[in-house]
Chain A
Amino acid sequence: MRFGLTIGEYYPVDSPVHALDPRVKILLVLVFTIAVFAVVNFSGLTAAAALIVGVALVSRVPIRLAVKGVRPLLYLLALTFIIHLFTGAKPWIELGPLHISVPGARSGALVGIRLVILVVGAAFLTLTSTPIELTDAIESLLAPLKKVRVPAHEIAMMMTIALRFIPTLAAETDKIVKAQASRGARFESSNPVTRARSFIPVLVPLFLSVFRRADELAEAMEARAYRGGEGRTRMRRLEMKGRDVLTLISATAVFAGLAWFGRLPLV
């Protein structure tokens, strides 16, 4: 099994971006997404990419880590581009039996680049905030919805638990894979059926351990008299500081500018 940072995993350094209130970061990712969708020219996308590079520099996170998140999307991107290429409008370029649409090529490229920018931009949210910060922020942002019976606290708690167990289960999987490899298991067969079957010796022990852990966690929580959200106080409180508000307002203004610039009749 591989070690190390998976896509979008928290990158622990000190930076102004890391220090920002996670709620602000979530909101800004939303605003940025809307702005990038509004952009319909390449100049606007270039500007958006420049903004991301700026964020990367300020956050001291290697941009390579954020770009890694695009890899699983490559097939999707290629497919989108090809569909656009052949289903656009006039004028058509005829290459033997192929009919390629010129506006189709343009919109395909726009959609593709836009998607890359969104994924890379959003990666900085998880690269610069710990999972706990993010779930606290989501709970806080969803809090107004409690009035319409959205279980904000429970949703956040489930997310926290799920996130908390990712490294534990990754370590557990790693251990079981190594233990089975030590007794002769192989996982690199080229036949997909054999390959899938070869994971049974890993999955059975893993599921057993997941259920055992879930049981133990539930018991431990009950033993500590955990009863959900009503009336709970928190150890870490999110506090919106002047700097956070300022960042929220100014970055929103910049993104609005980006959307406006992206709709100008430029290339």
Chain B
Amino acid sequence: MIKVNGRDFEWQEGLTVAKLLEKKRYTYPKIIVKVNERLINKQQYVSTVIYDGDDVKVIHLLAGG
């Protein structure tokens, strides 16, 4: 199990940031991703592996019209 934005989310072997965003359908482009408080750049989404127990934050910067 991992935390995504403070909520439990089932972990799977081989999970990366890119796969997590796909699973959560987080498609919005203005996001900040942090894994265990470490900022992950967009270029690293595919290569950054998420491990069981990690704390992931996906902060969407959308504040409406």
| A-B interaction | no
